[in-house]
Amino acid sequence: MRILFVGDSMTIGSAGEHTWRYHMWQHLNRSFGGPYRIVGPRTALYDQRAGAPVSQDYADPDFPERARAHLAGWGEGWLQMAPLIRETVAAHRAGVLLVSLGLIDLGFYTNAEQTAGNVRRFVAEARAANPSVRMLIMPVLPNVRAADDPAFGAEVRRFNALLAEAVAGLDGPGSPVVLAEPPADWDLHRDTYDGTHPSARGEHRMAAAFADALYEEWGLGAPYEARLAAH
């Protein structure tokens, strides 16, 4: 199994963080019964001071470089990833995509309908590289802007509804596309450090959502350990 993480700032993470990718790697090491590899063209964290993805300062220095791979970017969304996913899947022979995107699109680039269109383009491009690719997609999680701006909150809800419709229509036995169940009762004060980006607890909860979906949908790995999710 070759796993590719695709995401925005919540997935790339900032210098000094573990990231939910790290916790997912630890979980797979504990639970996955067969060979797997984390793949992707990037390994860096975003450096807030430099304003660029140039840091390798992970909270755990023993996080190996081979497991740091991803396709995630600060300020990048479905709009930016759809043109990149075909070449990335092909070059890295990715078979399972764990995707968390959408907030940055709605905040800066596209409305809900346009963003849903980019979801469809992303899926088509990934399948063009690997017709049997599997995808788990996370809806946009609650965030401070959606809480404080009613119009933006409505746009997020609209997109999440359109995302669910798109996933249901795109899913198929040869190349399944599944909506990952978001962490229940996502708490902006406990699960984020700034109303958007995951705190240590939020990192665990994002990893748990993807890990549980992998297990429930395809029997890969095991349920995420509750003692870690409770951080």
Q: Which domain holds residue 215?
A: 2-229
Measure the CA–CA gap between 179 and 181, rounded to whole angstroms: 6
The pLDDT of residue 225: 82
Read off the pLDDT band of 32 (50, 70, 90): confident
Residue type, 154: A
The pLDDT of residue 228: 47
CA distances from 41 to 5, 88, 122 (A): 10, 7, 17
pLDDT digits (tens, 9 = 90+) for 45-84: 999 999 999 999 999 999 999 999 999 999 999 999 999 9
Measure the CA–CA gap between 12 and 87, rounded to whole angstroms: 19
Q: The tokens of 131 are what?
A: 């017709």
Domain count, the chain: 1
Q: The tokens of 107 are what?
A: 């905040």
Read off the pLDDT band of 226 (50, 70, 90): low
| Mean pLDDT, the chain, whole residue set | 95
Measure the CA–CA gap between 8 and 186, rounded to whole angstroms: 18
Measure the CA–CA gap between 148 and 56, rounded to whole angstroms: 34
Find tokens 């946009």 and name the residue.
Answer: 140
pLDDT digits (tens, 9 = 90+) for 133-151: 999 999 999 999 999 999 9
Percent of the chain with pLDDT over 70: 97
The pLDDT of residue 231: 44
pLDDT digits (tens, 9 = 90+) for 115-129: 999 999 999 999 999
DSSP conformation letters of 17-79: ---HHHHHHHHHHHH--S--EEE-SB-PEEETTTTEEEE---SSTTS-GGG--BEE-TT--HH
Average pLDDT of the residues in 29-37: 89
Where residue 61 sits, what CATH number does that domain have? 3.40.50.1110
Asked if 60 and 18 touch (Cβ cutoff 8 Å), the reply is yes
The pLDDT of residue 33: 78
